[in-house]
Amino acid sequence: MVFNGSFMPHGHCLLWRWDLLFLHVGGDALTGLAYAMIPIALIHIVLKRNDLKFDRLFLLFAGFISFCGITHLLGLFNIWHGYYFIEGVAKLITGLISIVTAVVLWKLTPRIVALPSAALLAQRNQELLNAQQELKDINMTLEAKIAERTRELNIQASTDELTSILNRRAILKDLDNEINRCQRHHQVCSVLMLDVDYFKHVNDTYGHQVGDEVLIMIADAITQTCRQTDSVGRYGGEEFLIVLPQTDNQQAYELAERIRKSVASISTQHPFSVSCSIGVATFDETLDMHTLIKRADEAVYNAKEKGRNCVSH
């Protein structure tokens, strides 16, 4: 009774008219074909998208649409054969799947509604891009400030606070680098050690503030007389060290004389003259930095023994 198709075919209800048959057959056929294609597309989407939310809801819709399609195909078949029981079973299954799908859809409605729209996602994405650009600008500003601050700290670390020329550590570093360069390329360099004459007498008589002013003027005189390639530093107290790259002993002596004269021409508001004694030492490959400085220092003592305000080498 269920599978023998003995019921009256649906075509009798349609009076077997070609126009009614065309409408029902065409409608059910197209609907069945569409219902066969839609679930395949839904299942394909679920399989290809691992990040897809509510994938079970997609599968429920696929099942619901599939059974709707089966119902339409059975309706099409029953135009010529009366398998209405089977069609009824298919409709019942379709109804059950439909109600389950509807219940699940209603339960998921708040979460689906809460999903951001494409416009909102675009807005949030733009906000993130703007924030990223702001962070980039801030980072560039901070890097610039850090670089500037680092440069200032490097200058402070290598500059004598009183005279604004190189301090002892920095001038010794320059001398060490110059000696290493001379050793690599077999070149020559010289150093000048300058000591201010009677500086203790200036401090004791006129005060340390006046002594500081004298040191500043002497540092300016040395810097203005030296070449741009030379390094000028305060070695300690009233002593100055000048590093002369690619300068032999005679050239160093001549520059020392110009520096001595420049210092001697300094005028102050106090009744004393300024002078200095300068020692010259030239590097050769048998010397290291400390020995070179020692030779320049010994030359300073020789200049003082000669009566000060002179150059010795």
| DSSP SS3 for 103 | helix
Alpha-carbon radius of gyration of the chain:
50
CA 197 to chain centre: 54
- The active-site residue, picked from 87, 152, 161, 238, is 238
- Confirm whether 257 is a catalytic residue: no
Which burial class, exposed, middle or buried, applies to 165 when counting CB atoms under 10 A from its CB (0-12, 13-18, 19+)?
Answer: buried
Residue 6 has φ and ψ, to the nearest 5°, of: -85, -5
| DSSP SS3 for 276 | strand
Tokens for 224, please give them: 């203005």
Which burial class, exposed, middle or buried, applies to 312 when counting CB atoms under 10 A from its CB (0-12, 13-18, 19+)?
Answer: buried
**H or E element, residue 148:** helix 118-158
CA torsion, ordered 244, 246, 249, 250, to nearest 10 deg: -100
Contacts of 260 (CB under 8 A, 6+ apart): 275, 276, 278, 309, 310, 311
Contacts of 104 (CB under 8 A, 6+ apart): 56, 57, 60
DSSP annotation of 139: H
| DSSP SS3 for 13 | coil
Which residue type occupies 176? D
Q: Catalytic amino acids?
A: 238
